[in-house]
Structure 1
Amino acid sequence: MRKPVFRTSVALISFALAALLVAGCSTLNTLGAMLGSQVTFTQPQLQHALNRNFPKEYDKLGGLVSLRLTNPTLSIPYDSTRLRLDFDVGLSALGSSSLATTGHFALSSGLRFDPETRGLHLQDPVIESVDVPALGGVMSGTSRELLSSWLDDYAREEPVYRLDNSLLDRISARRIDSTAIERGVVVINLGE
């Protein structure tokens, strides 16, 4: 008769431990893993933040040219110190009402922490490839200038990932020394 009671107790303890483990994992996923003097962020965490902030539309030259960016895809190559971002791009000029996807472009970039936005921003982004079949596969000078202008504005003003209040509270007594991309993750190095 003791065996059913013992099995029930083991099942309840196992269930409670599993619930604690799941809760702990979700907290790490939300806040980033804190390892001593480092906080790390994974590709899925950054991708989730990007997905919430796109699509984006930009008008340049007084509305003569418009740019629409959709479907951001972020990857962090294991052997690189830069991440890669791919976007679908739509362009339209005055008289054209469509911002449908007309091509694709990719960039690589480091990351930096900006205390004003409390976010991770692109650092020294470089356009790696542009494929716009509607324009013969090559962007015109004006189109490339528009894309470069957007990239400069985006890197300066908009974070790829914004640190949340819970994480900032946990590291508030420390300063952020540097941000790096190492072995497929983003690492924030903390000082005293």
Structure 2
Amino acid sequence: MSDASVGRRALCTGLVLAVAALGGCALVQPGPRTLEISEARLADLVSRRFPLDHRYLEMVDVSLSRPRLRLLPQENRIQTELDYTMGTALPGTRSVRGVLGLSYGLRFDPADRSVRLSEVRVERFDVPGVPAGQAERMSRLGSAVAESVLQDAVIHRLRADELKVAEGWGYEPGAFRVVPGGLQLTMTPVRR
């Protein structure tokens, strides 16, 4: 074999290896990316879902309004205080008004493209102007109703075109993390 033939073969082998290496780079999955959502934007998204009126067990009417948010980054949770009105659907009964405090996490539900409350816990349920024993019972009932009504409540729904753009770039929404000043949403690579 001549030196020129060996040189051509080496050059061709080098080019084939380089093309294979570049092709392999295209197969490497991109890493996760993070989107920032400010506390003000989050407060705006949450406030759009209120006032919230709900009838529980066809018996108890609950109205929630004026959400006030506070971030709890150390617990990866959000705390919200709401004004509530609660009363029975029976005529002639009196409604109770007070303040409800709860904390929760967030999760993305790909089935309906929604951002939902998760692991809702009532931290405070004030029942002003009611005798102590009755207030305690009402507080337990109110806490149970609030957790039931708010568990998995939708606070935002992504439009289909927003998800198409993310998918076009090879990503889908993943986990939320509460950080000082807002939220971080991890965008994870779509598995193909």
TM-score (norm 2): 0.67
1:150/1:42 Cα in 2 relative to 1: closer, same or farther (>3 Å)?
A: same
CA distance in 2, matches of 1:143, 1:129: 8
In the other structure, the counterpart of 2:52 is 56
The equivalent of 1:31 in structure 2 is none
Aligned to 1:190: 187
Q: Which residue pairs with 2:157 in the alignment? A: 162
Q: Distance in 2 between matches of 1:190 and 1:104?
A: 36
Aligned-residue Cα RMSD (Å) equals 2.6
Name structure 1 gaps, 5 residues minimum: 1-35
Count of residues in correspondence between the two structures: 154
1:146 shift after superposition = 4.5
Cα 1:117/1:148, change in 2 over 3 Å: farther
2:173 is the alignment partner of 1:176 = yes
Q: For 1:148, which of 120, 126, 144 is the aligned residue?
A: 144
**C-alpha distance in 2 between matches for 1:44 and 1:164:** 21
Identity of aligned residues (%): 21
1:75-86 matches, within 5 Å, as: 75-77=70-72, 79-86=74-81
What's the counterpart of residue 43 of structure 2? 47
Q: Is the 8 A contact 2:176 2:184 kept in 1?
A: yes
Q: CA deviation at 1:106?
A: 0.5
**Matches of 1:106 and 1:177, distance apart in 2:** 27
The 2-side partners of 1:170 and 1:153 are apart by 33
Note the C-alpha offset of 1:132: 1.4
**1:37 equivalent in alignment to 2:33:** yes
**Contact 1:122-1:155 at 8 Å conserved across structures:** yes
Q: Can you list the C-alpha shifts for 1:63-104, whole angstroms capped at 9, x where unaligned?
A: 3x21111111122245542111110011112234665x7100
| Residue aligned with 1:48, SS | helix
Query: Corresponding residue for 2:3?
Result: none
Shift of residue 168 of structure 1?
A: 2.0
- Residue of structure 2 equivalent to 1:67: 62
> TM-score by structure 1 length?
0.67
Q: Deviations over 1:133-175 (max 9, x none)?
A: 033477443553354234234322x322333445323312313
User: Would you say 1:89 and 2:84 are equivalent positions?
Assistant: yes
Take 1:139 and 1:68, find their aligned partners in 2: how far apart are those partners? 18
Q: Distance in 2 between matches of 1:44 and 1:131?
A: 26
SS at match of 1:160: strand
Computing the radius of gyration from Cα coordinates, the structure with the larger value is 2
Q: Counterpart in 2 of 1:27?
A: none
| Contact 1:46-1:160 within 8 A present in 2 as well | no
Change over 3 Å in CA distance of 1:74–1:50 after alignment to 2: same
1:90, 1:102 within 8 Å by CA — same for their partners in 2?
yes
- Match of 1:116, SS? coil
